[in-house]
A and B are shown apart, each in its own frame.
Chain A
């Protein structure tokens, strides 16, 4: 029993999960039951995949000991690339592949420069934040191109599920979240990612190709952010060059709220997903409770700090519970 309590207290995503449940109850009461009705859930679940997919990539990269501030800009550059190509008559799927290739290239550059020149990824990706945003505006020609009419919305944005509760994008999100979670917990690659971020010299001494592992995580992170951006553009129907601004910090906040440590080696995809849901729930719940919307950022900021403090406290308490090792 003690052992079980200890294991649960050590789960870094636990604090966020408890908080999520509490907030859902509070919002449900304060909104007189509107919060959990089908219409409102549809709103939350429709947007969740866009930040959620970004958070999955950011979480994995942070577990690997690195950091990506460029995801918000990549979120915009991927659909803009596609829109420009499609305006020139390129079919959707080719444009999609080209967009993903751009994301992969950006992730590669982020990782390669960080490792090759041994500089903090904070700096590399801060630079990329500006570069990718600038490129988005440049290739749009200052005027976002019109999207063609024959887009495969059935694959990404149509409402599906019981009572049309969520969009297709939600299914993508669930599948990718599960796959990412299994990759981290069940595959040798996941083991390498955690070892690389947990203690780099040990990972190197055991022969893990740490540079390749890191670059792969950077690429994965960029590609997920770009994919998420495409989904948002399909939902909105127009490729605005400003989408995703500020999201890089929300994504980091979500990962941290979900128990991922900035220092690497600690965290879980599930935690990031819970963090992303929390952010969506707070955004929506504040509006429903008729709180001034400007409190949203305050709440996210407060939660980020609170989650880290709570996790460190839980971790210490867990250590204090003596079980035989």
Chain B
């Protein structure tokens, strides 16, 4: 195996009494799409929340390109090239597409201590480009997110993650509440990550979706990894058995 893009080593997470992650170690290669599956409460969200900086591990290590890194908030993760698309929507409905794309990472004309005047022209231009890049057809970057369909919103979230040149793209149940056509679009997107040399971690409880677009399947149960196979070397029955 080549040098992993991102690895976790002996990760533990306790929530006052609940041992949600029990000594989880995983390697993710560049240009690999990994499907993470498991029942509700298996610890999938906990694992990716730790990678995306939404929560901190109780114990364990995260390595990127072989180097240990410290991820203590979402900003750290983003700066390391980890972008996350959440199962609930990580968009502010009362704000425009352009503003949503750049929340927390606004291009500034000038600034003092990180605060300053936004370059709104650049925001408009780049958001039009970012949306076009993911084949989403929206006419104006000034439309409010609240006016978009669930699939369009997820599309904007993907456009945002792509725009910031991520190395690792985490999708936590991104197809929940989506129509079939929109779901297929997301699955196509996960497949396309490979060509762009981006590590994809795709969480779904729909096993068919995972078989459709992932190179490798990791199954979790009760906070542990119970199966880790190439998609070609396993089948749905085997996975159903371990869950």
Contacts and interface: CB of A to CB of B under 8 A. Distances in A.
A and B are interacting partners: yes
Interface of A: 186-189, 191-192, 194-195, 198-199, 201-208, 265-266, 319, 324-325
A162 to B, nearest CB: 32
A265 B95 contact: yes
B242 interface: no
B88 A194 contact: no
B124 interface: no
Contacts of A195: 92, 95, 99, 103-104
Given A205-B90, A206-B104, A208-B104, A187 B95 contact: no
- Mostly, the A contact residues are helix
9 contacts: A188-B106, A191-B99, A201-B90, A202-B103, A207-B53, A207-B73, A207-B78, A325-B143, A325-B152
Interface in B71-96: 73-75, 78, 84, 86, 88-95
Nearest to B152: A325
Interface of B: 52-54, 73-75, 78, 84, 86, 88-95, 99, 102-106, 108, 111, 114-118, 120, 138-140, 143, 147-148, 152
Contacts of B53: 207
Given A186-B117, A205-B54, A207-B75, A198 B94 contact: yes
A208 B53 CA distance: 12
Contacts of B140: 325
A204 B90 CA distance: 9
- Nearest first, the 7 A-B pairs at minimum CB distance are A207-B75, A198-B92, A265-B94, A207-B74, A188-B106, A206-B104, A198-B94
Contacts of B73: 207
Contacts of B88: 201
Contacts of A324: 139
Given A198-B93, A199-B91, A199-B92, A208 B103 contact: yes
